[in-house]
Amino acid sequence: MSLRPETLLTEGLDCLVARGMSRGEARRQVERLMAKCLGLNKREMIQMPSGVDDSIRRDFLSALHKRSNGIPLQYVEEESEFMDFTFRISPDVLIPRPETENLVERILLELEGWKKRSFKILDIGTGSGVILLSLLKYFPESAGMGSDICEKALSIAGTNAERLGVSGRVTFVQSDVFDAFGGDERFDCIVSNPPYIPERDWQALDEAVKQEPVCALIAGPTGLEFYRRIVPAAEKFLKPGGFLFFETGWNQASEVAWLCRSCGFSDVASFKDDFGIERIIKAEHKRL
């Protein structure tokens, strides 16, 4: 039996509003779910079919059920937008956030003169690959390596590399920070958005955030554990004059900057995200 899409949209709208969502936000989300089920983009949604069959109805109601039970929209859609690209995601990886886009934007500014240069990037804790793969798209002569401890995350990153057409310039390795790397690996740029939430902050997190992978969120008692592992070892894997970039948590930037200076890095600077929070750290490995 064929149903009018408007009937399903109304049903979905009422369902999400009943769960406490504003009517405007509920409308935006049910339209996105319907577009996903129909295989349409936003513009094509203007010309929705006059009817949908039972399979589309089942897909839509299944997606609606997940969303109404608190599963983040991006996990329901299995996609997320980042830096003008569309990435495949799942509950095995973090949902990309605006502050991580700010990290990529800062790297693009700092390395603006490298657009035609051949260089190598390492992304520690690559997850779905949004940071590394976006950089490879903007730096067409670059190559990259993404490491992650989670095998499922690496599989998703590989899928995204193929989606973005950069699979020939990237490799992925399962590793806990630098554990799987040999002594002869050298990179021009190391970037990381590591776990940085202290264990004590777990209970205060939004319930939607708690559905993301804990190992990608929680660092340990202080939240600084991964920076304390990466920074002292990074010199061994950076070429002279290479750069180290981090995303940091709230109120962590000054401590991470101090750590970089204490480990011999120069030109250490911190930058604010779009919310005015000191979020991004840049440090340069000493030149020969």
pLDDT of 110 higher than 80: yes
Average of per-residue pLDDT across 17-42: 86
Q: What is the mean pLDDT of residues 265-283?
A: 97
Round to whole Å and give the CA distance between 279 and 257.
11
Q: Which of the pair, 279 or 61, is modelled with greater confidence?
A: 279
CA distance 169 to 195: 26
How many C-beta neighbours within 10 Å does residue 8 have?
20
> Residue 99, Cβ neighbours under 10 Å: how many?
18
- The pLDDT score that the predictor gives to residue 47 is 60
The token pair at 51 is 């009817």
232, pLDDT greater than 60: yes
Tell me which range, 6-20, 135-149, 179-193, is most confidently predicted by mean pLDDT. 135-149
The single-letter code of the amino acid at 186 is R
How many other CB atoms sit within 10 Å of the CB of residue 142? Answer: 23
What pLDDT is recorded for position 5?
67
Question: What pLDDT was estimated at residue 225?
Answer: 97
Domains, the chain, in order of start with CATH, read: 5-69 (1.10.8), 79-284 (3.40.50.150)
Give the confidence band of 82 by pLDDT, cuts at 50, 70, 90. Answer: very high
pLDDT number for residue 44: 59
Determine how β-strand 266-272 pairs with β-strand 278-284. Answer: antiparallel
Distance linking the first and last C-alpha atoms of the chain: 73
Could you read off the pLDDT of 140-163 as tens digits, one per residue? Answer: 999 999 999 999 999 999 999 999
Q: What is the pLDDT of residues 85-100, one digit of tens each?
A: 999 999 999 999 999 9
Query: Is it the case that residue 55 has pLDDT exceeding 80?
Result: yes
List, in sequence order, every beta strand (DSSP E) within the chain.
79-82, 85-88, 120-124, 143-148, 170-174, 187-192, 197-198, 218-220, 238-247, 266-272, 278-284
pTM above the 0.95 mark?
no
Q: What is the pLDDT of residue 53?
A: 76
